[in-house]
Amino acid sequence: METVVSGIRSTGNLHLGNYFGAINNFKKMQYEHNCFFFIADYHSLTTHPTPEDLHNNVKQVLIEYLAAGLDPDKATIYIQSDVPEVTELYLLLNMNAYKGELERCTSFKEKVHKQPDNINAGLLTYPVLMAADIIIHKATKVPVGKDQEQHLEMARTFANRFNRLYKTEYFPQPYAFNFSEELIKIPGLDGSTKMGKSENEGNAIFFADDPKVIEKKVMRAVSDQGPKEPNQEKPQAIQNLFNLMKATSKPETYNFFEEAYNNCQIRYGDMKKQLAKDIIEFTTPIRERINDIKNDNNYLQKVAKKGKEKAMDSASNTIKEVRSIIGFKHF
């Protein structure tokens, strides 16, 4: 049995990228492994949410995790800020995380570009907090999307560095994980390569989207005039539609449109209609479950409390051992 950790920032509603990058893999693992799934609310502070938004977003993400199939009787589902031990490990790891390597991190460079007025130290040390989230449970597998590959490499660096510094093998190596051969990146509908919660309007399909909204978003997805010659390489926006179809439609549907594309007979209107239908079919049970549990505060409280207890157990054990390895001692 391995230890598995994954998390999602509480910065907005969950989308198909979150599902195929993280949740889907975790769902399959929760029955066989020691699994922790958390809501990353400390991480969300880098964007300075208001107190109400902070709380409502955490609640919404918890509802959507459960609706998407995470099972609180199998996995430990918890809120990051309920386990403050993670911040102690973050501090300790920060002492051996260097400015140069943090500044070279792709996600940091993207943030510098996107939000030049708010380049806070939390953004710079984001990979250190993420490493603490993972290694606090001594996880070896981390179901994440392709965008997190570099962060996982950094988590291994920090775990290794701790081990070397204190001449121990305390922390195991955590690896990004997906059941398919490669890590997944679900594209946006706006022609961009990544579906994300804070991208342009119309980029992402959220679990909570109404079928009419899904249809509108898919029908408006960026496409082009169609291929001019057989077997032509697909431009990015068209490849995006095919990638989305691969994730959500049946293989025969995907093959049908792939063949039509290669024969120059594709009609994007038909392809989008089919894609919208398949996405609606896929998300409807999740949406229904969101509506079933969203007002059941009693149930949500119970799940969060149970998760907190289990996660605290694991995290406080690690912190106790880490303190002793480092040399903190009571008089």
Active site residues: 111, 194, 197
Interacting residue with ligand AMP among 3, 30, 148, 243 (CB under 6 A):
148
In the set 49, 127, 145, 307, which binds ligand AMP (CB under 6 A)? 145
User: Could you say whether residue 191 binds ligand AMP (CB under 6 A)?
Assistant: no
Q: 3-state SS of the chain?
A: CCEEEEEEECCCCCEHHHHHHHHHHHHHHCCCCEEEEEEEHHHHHHHCCCHHHHHHHHHHHHHHHHHCCCCCCCCEEEEHHHCCHHHHHHHHHHCCCCHHHHHCCHHHHHHHHHCCCCCCHHHHCHHHHHHHHHHCCCCCEEECCHHHHHHHHHHHHHHHHHHHHCCCCCCCCCEEECCCCCCCCCCCCCCCCCCCCCCCCCCCCECCCCHHHHHHHHHCCCCCCCCCCCCCCCCHHHHHHHHHHHHHCCHHHHHHHHHHHHCCCCCHHHHHHHHHHHHHHHHHHHHHHHHHHCCCHHHHHHHHHHHHHHHHHHHHHHHHHHHHHHCCCCC
18 near ligand AMP, judged by CB under 6 A: yes
Least distance in angstroms from the C-beta of 183 to ligand AMP: 8
CA–CA distance, 264 with 268 (Å, rounded to integer): 11
Q: How far is the CB of 17 from ligand AMP (least distance, A)?
A: 3
Minimum CB separation of residue 46 from ligand AMP in Å reads 11
Among 196, 202, 211, 226, binds ligand AMP (CB under 6 A): 196
57 contacts ligand AMP (rule: CB under 6 A): no
22: contact with ligand AMP by CB under 6 A: yes
CB of 14 to ligand AMP, least distance (A): 7
Mark the segment that binds ligand AMP (CB under 6 A) among 96-104, 130-138, 182-190, 250-258. 182-190
| Closer of 145 and 227 to ligand AMP (Cβ) | 145
The residue from 3, 4, 17, 131 that contacts ligand AMP (CB under 6 A) is 17
Give the tokens for residue 72.
């609180």
Which one of the spans 13-21, 97-105, 114-122, 160-168 is the region binding ligand AMP (CB under 6 A)? 13-21
Number of residues in contact with ligand AMP under rule CB under 6 A: 18
**CA distances to 37, 47, 206, 298 from 295, in Å:** 22, 27, 19, 9
Nearer to ligand AMP, 110 or 259 (CB): 110
Q: Which stretch binds ligand AMP (CB under 6 A): 49-57, 183-191, 214-222, 311-319?
A: 183-191
Which of 152, 322 has the CB closer to ligand AMP? 152
Token pair for 257 = 């449109």
CB of 110 to ligand AMP, least distance (A): 12
Measured from the CB atom, the residue of 8 and 237 that comes closer to ligand AMP is 8
Contact positions vs ligand AMP (CB under 6 A): 8-9, 17-18, 20-22, 144-145, 147-148, 184-186, 194-197
